[in-house]
Structure 1
Amino acid sequence: MSSEDMSSSNLFLNEFSDVSSYKDTACSLVMKLIRSSNDLSRASDHDFLMSFAPLRRRMDTVAEKVLQNMNSLLKQQNLRRDLGIVSWKEADHDDKIEKLIDINDILFERISSSLDEAAGLKKISSEVKSLVPSIRNVPATWNKEDGFVLQESIPTFKQQQKRSSSTFAINHQQTKNIPKPQIKFTDKVDNNPHTPFIPKLRTKPNAITPLPIMFSQLDSRSSDTLLLERHPEILLHPYFDEIEAFEPNENLLKEVKVQVPKSLDETKYLFVDTPDKLKTMIDHIEIQSELAIDLEHHSYRSYQGFTCLMQISSRTEDFLIDTITLRDELNILNNIFTNPNIVKVFHGADSDIEWLQKDFGLYIVNMFDTHQAARELNLPAFSLAYLLKSYCDIDANKQFQLADWRIRPLPEEYLRYAREDTHYLLYIYDLLRNRLIEKNPQFLKTVYEKSKIICQKLYKKPYFDDNAYQNIYLKSRKTFNIRQLAALKSLYYWRDKIARHEDESTGYVLPNHMLLQISEILPRYDDMNCEF
């Protein structure tokens, strides 16, 4: 054997001096890829640039190379890709993301298991179990899902967690028979694009600027356009001045002693689904100096969506509020939510702020958004899942992000996931607050300023854009003739009209990839399946 061969045999993967060198090089390349990807996704003119054929062809070539590498990896790991549709390129965006999450979960689980075996923490299994796709057929072709199951029906630990309850289902098909809660709402749903959203606020606690007297003459479905034209202040943010006037006091700008929370099992917890329990919760949270708050929302079987659950945690107790049952009772929380002496800690509150306004007439004064804090600190990731893992060693189950929160009673797995979202948030708030001060005290003030801007967001009903169909067309990278574009425009209008009238999401009525497929094929009526 030559000296070169002997030298090569001592190298890891014939290239690196050891595993550590390989890991450092791989991490460096991954970080470079992430930075490049983030720069690309932030480009505001991305859709415009993709309309140029040379750039689009180049991007297609790169995408094809990435897919080839992915397929090689799946083949090497004895995994097969099967999206249940014709090709990856025609897959719905949500399907792609969900499938990538599943694949990554499996690969990372294998990596973790291999590391445990290498470290001697786990015995090497004599049986190698391969993963093969299992397709669950459902009537609607655009709702097809597929997942990975172990041969011999032996689930991994992570799969056991996902399937630990027979009631836990992360697909719309299994919850399709749930009665629509919005049918029983006192404030009937109004999806009319020609009437604006009227704030539900009728009393204004902790006010600096009084509530316009005209609010007492309106209901949330008022269609008196002349009255609205004479009194445009009705449509303004009722707590804009109070939010603008808020400034964090000296105590909020100082380092704090970090309070480590007890475990979920050791913490007092109450599911609030009656007025009496609501009163019990209020008696506790109104005397706190800080609260962690989060919402769980449903938008698949509703045009504007609605809040199904609210989570509130103090330093010592957790509360889960059934916002479907208590929808008409929760406006009383404005006494606390607009109290400038109580810090309300959210994570990524942009949507939460609008949902609180739309569903309950609730507003927030004095908020700290941990997402904004993470961005200000330039952390590697800004998600709550990252913060929970980094600071609390909690693995957030991403599958619950797709859960149907209308289910009643809520399964235990749902309740635990919901509690985790706020139970540790005040502890994370302490840590981020101290890190901001340590880095630069001005950064903490900046987070409060950005949080104020979010609180001043005003909910507006979704309007219909005649030209929005063009965005779907450009992103599809298809080439349509005039007839096909006309069909796409007409179908887009029809879908929105039906969704508003039936109070369904446009994705439920007709997903984008089906919208494009019909427009491309232009089927005649007698060629179409009557079930469609």
Structure 2
Amino acid sequence: MIETTQALQDACNTLAKSAFVTVDTEFIRESTFWPELCLIQMASPDLEVLVDPLAKDIDLKPFFDLMANPDVVKVFHAARQDLEIVYHLGNMLPAPLFDTQVAAMVCGFGDSISYDQLVARVTGAKLDKSSRFTDWRARPLNDKQLSYALADVTHLRDVYLRLKDQLEREGRENWVEEEMAILEAPETYDLPPEKAWTRLKLRVKKSLDFAVMQAVAEWREREARDRNMPRRRILKDDAVYEIAQQHPTEPAALAKLRMIPRGWERSGQAASLLEAVKTALETPKADLPKIPRPAQPPEGAAAAAELLKVLLKIIAEQNKVAQRVIASSDDIDKIAADGDEADVEAMKGWRRQLFGEPALQLMKGEVALRFIDNKVHVIPV
């Protein structure tokens, strides 16, 4: 276990000599807004290390420098949460990046395959996952925890090399580049507080209610970040909806709401919340936000979407690619409604060639779906 800055620097210097480094983290976030980093695991073909970020006086700068090294590919599995931690603590994102879960979807291993399942299919090894939900803050970590943590990066080396080789053989390297670009973008991990309302369901029908909902969601986001507490511990989602509909501006009105804890209306937090509500209620009518409404699809779009889903399933199976990598359900609906004018990823680049063009042909009646020998086939008309 690496517990000093110098030992970390030495390890990172060695790891930086490799073409790739596999990386994973263990963290706790049940009681905080930001994930609490408890362990870092890294491995190259020649070195395997565990880093204790909770060790006294350790400086993680060598780790962040390695993550920023353009000559070393950083390999994660299901990277998003790990990258969120790196972004929060180091104000940077690892690059170049390779996510084996995304690559596995392109290589025919199904939709969002788990790490242990992928390891089993690629290497035949069976991982002991019984330590997954242990308290990673506790020290010292026992041998079982350390073995579990190290396995998350040692087997990942073989998985990465297998997937990388398959992508190169099949000429599909660029198929995963777009997904990597999303993971490498800071905006993926830093939603502005004023956009916090997008995490919520639109349970409002009036523009004024919507303005209050936006204001309360923004207030909650800032409070959660400042206090490093989960959003739900600041204010539950149902309370946000109730405030948006009831418009409380005084403590007494707030106390009458079902989702507000008894006595909370007298707190300093409640006072700042009520100020946010008052400000939203003072919004001029002309400046009230419009509630996003899905466009009314043209006649026949729903039926077209059902056919396109079947077509997508056929193409995904033929090419051994997970469906969600090719097109999302929103992509399908927009293609069904707008055809060639649909501004979606499924109508761009390799996705258009693989699925977009056949989708347009199906909608124009140039190809058809036919059931033969217990299978659906795409045939020219």
- For Structure 1 versus Structure 2, the TM-score category normalised by the shorter chain is 0.5 to 0.7
- Residue number in structure 2 paired with 1:451: 180
The amino acid that maps onto 1:505 is P
1:506 corresponds, among 218, 231, 249, to 231
Q: Aligned pair 1:394/2:126, yes or no? A: yes
Q: How far off its partner does 1:523 sit?
A: 5.3
Listed one character per residue, the Cα deviations across residues 233-264 of structure 1 (whole Å, up to 9, x for unaligned) are: xxxxxxxxxxxxxxxxxxxxxxxxxxxxxxxx
Give the conservation status (yes or no) of the 8 Å contact 1:304–1:461. no
- Residue number in structure 1 paired with 2:220: 495
Q: How far off its partner does 1:329 sit?
A: 2.0
Give the conservation status (yes or no) of the 8 Å contact 2:5–2:58. no
Give the conservation status (yes or no) of the 8 Å contact 1:358–1:459. no
- Residue number in structure 1 paired with 2:137: 406
Give the conservation status (yes or no) of the 8 Å contact 2:70–2:96. yes
Q: How far off its partner does 1:512 sit?
A: 3.0
Matches within 5 A, 1:20-419: 271-325=1-55, 329-382=59-112, 383-391=114-122, 392-395=124-127, 397=129, 400=132, 404-419=135-150
Determine what percentage of the aligned residue pairs are the same residue.
Answer: 21
The 3 A distance-change label for structure 1 pair 386 and 482 is same
1: CA distance between counterparts of 2:182 and 2:217? 33
The 3 A distance-change label for structure 1 pair 500 and 350 is closer
Instruction: Report the number of matched residues.
Output: 255
Q: How far off its partner does 1:429 sit?
A: 1.2
For residue 310 of structure 1, give the secondary structure of its aligned residue in structure 2: strand
Q: Aligned pair 1:429/2:160, yes or no? A: yes
The 3 A distance-change label for structure 1 pair 304 and 296 is same
The 3 A distance-change label for structure 1 pair 458 and 414 is farther
The amino acid that maps onto 2:256 is R
Unaligned segments of structure 1, at least 5 residues:
1-270
Q: How far off its partner does 1:506 sit?
A: 0.6
2: CA distance between counterparts of 1:416 and 1:513? 42
The amino acid that maps onto 2:147 is R
For residue 303 of structure 1, give the secondary structure of its aligned residue in structure 2: coil
Q: How far off its partner does 1:494 sit?
A: 5.2
The 3 A distance-change label for structure 1 pair 332 and 465 is same
Q: How far off its partner does 1:461 sit?
A: 4.0
1: CA distance between counterparts of 2:86 and 2:20? 18
The amino acid that maps onto 1:424 is H
2: CA distance between counterparts of 1:365 and 1:491? 36
The 3 A distance-change label for structure 1 pair 317 and 326 is farther
The amino acid that maps onto 1:394 is K
Which structure is higher in RCO with an 8 Å CA cutoff and minimum separation 6?
A: 1
Q: How far off its partner does 1:499 sit?
A: 2.0
The 3 A distance-change label for structure 1 pair 443 and 416 is same
Q: How far off its partner does 1:359 sit?
A: 0.8
| Higher Rg | 1
The amino acid that maps onto 1:444 is E
The amino acid that maps onto 2:60 is L
Give the conservation status (yes or no) of the 8 Å contact 1:303–1:499. yes
TM-score under structure 2 length normalisation: 0.53
1: CA distance between counterparts of 2:117 and 2:229? 32
The 3 A distance-change label for structure 1 pair 286 and 512 is same
2: CA distance between counterparts of 1:373 and 1:326? 37
TM-score under structure 1 length normalisation: 0.40
For residue 103 of structure 2, give the secondary structure of its aligned residue in structure 1: helix
The 3 A distance-change label for structure 1 pair 327 and 510 is farther
The 3 A distance-change label for structure 1 pair 507 and 447 is same
**RMSD value over aligned CA atoms?**
4.2
The 3 A distance-change label for structure 1 pair 407 and 520 is farther
